[in-house]
A and B are shown apart, each in its own frame.
Chain A
């Protein structure tokens, strides 16, 4: 890039604020033309870019606690942009953009081998087993700035990159080269009624995400905020979604420790 001003868009999700209402999922479906079926109860076959998981601490009633975990694409950077899915794609259909830090999915290039789905440790990638069929009249409500995917291709969260493009268009129109924090926000961020999701440039110290997560560049963006964690941090995927929780069992769940594993680690 000419000006060398690299951005790293990322998200901070406060799990203590999330009520699990699922508004982010609905907003994502509407914004990104995500197909759904009449009976979408089988979540192994359904497509959802943003998915809310339900965690619990596994303790009986008086100590029982629950937590909802919204999971968009983690937009892993890995080492220098070699995220798990980008490394395995044989078609160059998924790519890491150095200027924005967004992991892209190019539907016309994808031929549906699903290596990326196997490589992704977060299950963020979904396969279109069918062509999308919209209820009568709904095709008129599709977002014109997002392509509709056909059967046989993989899709995933794009951080609403079309909104980034539109924000840039407006900036160019007004003679600016840069966009403000408010100009580009994802659909889930805008929709969340609890304000649990924050979105912005992790490289920009003025952005809320940077202040919340306090990414440490010396350790591949590991959060300096003791309340913050990333999913499966120890895999080294270097994701750009940070989660906040003051509850320790939630933070431990984020690293997916096996039963008893954490104690062993603590003793040794």
Chain B
């Protein structure tokens, strides 16, 4: 007998059923599912709970809510000044940027209480009278190793303040300052949307947002290593 015939015989034996197949009764099938239901429900509830914790509760815990020392009405002031934003947030002659105004600029008008707004009274009595600077919380403050040039963007590239800062100039009161409890940075850097979805150019102020615009506009794409934007523009 050749090996081939042996193999054929062996396979023929295997095909003959030695024992009858077990009959599946409908009653036993339903018995198995009886204990599975609560487990599946447990996992669905657990998944829902962790999604809620991760996407809703944790983001709320991550940021502490801080109120600005004085509520400021941008819209009201914007109507009174001539040079829009740059009237108070001005450039110095050497090209450096003043940022948030100091008390000296406010005193020009607010040496005494002018109106009936309680916030103005608070500002005059607590800060102007004591000659104390207002400890403003700066929404757009970047980490210390970031050197951003306002002159390059506003003067040279003639960009609008709104592009990065949004319509803060039309706001009637200052929004709550949300500080990241881990990093200490403002929420405006990461953006409101916890999933990182960006609808407007002013929604976020992360490095990727700077790089995106630099790439699209083709500015400072001088890196030899990456053939894209060099780090040395903002970090040095």
Contacts and interface: CB of A to CB of B under 8 A. Distances in A.
A102 B232 contact: yes
B109 interface: no
Contacts of A92: 225-226, 231
Interface in A112-141: none
A165 B221 CA distance: 16
A147 B96 CA distance: 17
Nearest to B156: A172
Contacts of B225: 86, 89, 92, 95-96
A107 interface: yes
30 contacts: A1-B219, A2-B218, A2-B219, A95-B225, A95-B231, A96-B223, A97-B222, A97-B223, A97-B230, A98-B222, A98-B224, A102-B232, A107-B235, A109-B231, A147-B236, A161-B232, A162-B236, A165-B149, A166-B96, A168-B152, A169-B94, A169-B151, A170-B94, A170-B151, A171-B95, A172-B151, A172-B155, A173-B95, A173-B151, A175-B155
A102 B220 CA distance: 13
Given A92-B225, A147-B145, A170 B95 contact: yes
Main SS class of interface, B: loop
Interface in B112-162: 144-145, 147, 149, 151-152, 155-156
A118 B221 CA distance: 28
A158 interface: yes
Contacts of B23: none
B91 interface: yes
B32 interface: no
In the A-B complex, the 6 residue pairs with the closest CB atoms? A169-B95, A81-B224, A104-B232, A173-B95, A170-B95, A169-B151
B218 to A, nearest CB: 6
A147 B142 CA distance: 13
Contacts of B226: 92, 95
Nearest to A174: B95
A28 to B, nearest CB: 15
Contact of B236 (A2, A86, A165, A170): A165
Contact of A99 (B147, B218, B222): B222
Contacts of A165: 147, 149, 236
Question: Contact size class for A?
Answer: 35 or more
B219 A107 contact: no
A162 B220 CA distance: 16
Given A1-B222, A96-B225, A172-B151, A166 B236 contact: no
A96 B231 CA distance: 10
Contacts of A99: 220, 222, 230
B232 to A, nearest CB: 4
Interface of B: 91, 93-96, 144-145, 147, 149, 151-152, 155-156, 218-226, 230-232, 235-236
Interface string A166-186: 101111111101000000000
Given A82-B224, A96-B223, A165-B149, 4 more contacts: A1-B221, A97-B224, A104-B230, A161-B236
A86 B223 CA distance: 11
A108 interface: yes
Interface in A175-225: 175, 177
A104 B236 contact: yes
Contact of B152 (A82, A89, A162, A169): A169
B182 to A, nearest CB: 17
B147 A162 contact: yes
A95 B95 contact: no
A80 interface: yes
Contacts of A98: 222-224
A88 B70 CA distance: 52
